[in-house]
Amino acid sequence: MGSFTGQTAIQADLHALLQGLIMVQENNLLPIQIEVDCQDITNYLHNDHLTHTNFLRDCRVLLHQLGNPLIQHKFWEVNQVADALAKKGSNLPAINSFVNWVVPPLFVPRKFEADKERNSFC
């Protein structure tokens, strides 16, 4: 995901969630497990928020079409892969509003192993 000029962090997170749901639907990547590091996202999906109505509506429609998968809040420290990918994406040119890596970047396997170790103690 690239830069989201002029958007708040929550708008960027909702945009990323929406793009991820679209990718899941287009590629039939079911079943899915959704974890977000922003508690507000999970709250807003259950309760409206005037500023984010359009994003929320679009996400809810796709979630319904995907069988209403559970969305869980996880602290970013528990998901280093997602955090590292977000940081990498924030350094991409603004014209790349969404990046779909065919092969994960080289740092992903190392972060994934660290996440597995960290999560085994939770």
- 86 falls within a domain: yes
Residue 114, in any domain of the structure = yes
3, part of any domain: no
Bridge partners, 71 (sequence order): 34
- Which residue's structure tokens are 């991820």? 20
pLDDT in tens, 12-45: 889 889 999 999 999 999 999 998 888 999 999 9
User: What is the residue whose two structure tokens read 């899941």?
Assistant: 24
Q: Is the dihedral of CA 122, 75, 99, 45 positive or negative?
A: positive
For residue 51, the enclosing domain spans 9-119
The pTM of the full predicted model, rounded to 2 decimals, is: 0.77
Instruction: Report if residue 4 sits inside a domain.
Output: no
Q: Is residue 67 part of a domain?
A: yes
Give the chain's domain count. 1
What pLDDT digit, counting tens, does each position of 44-98 carry? 998 878 888 899 999 999 999 999 999 998 887 778 888 888 788 777 776 556 6
What tokens appear for 71 in the block? 């969305």
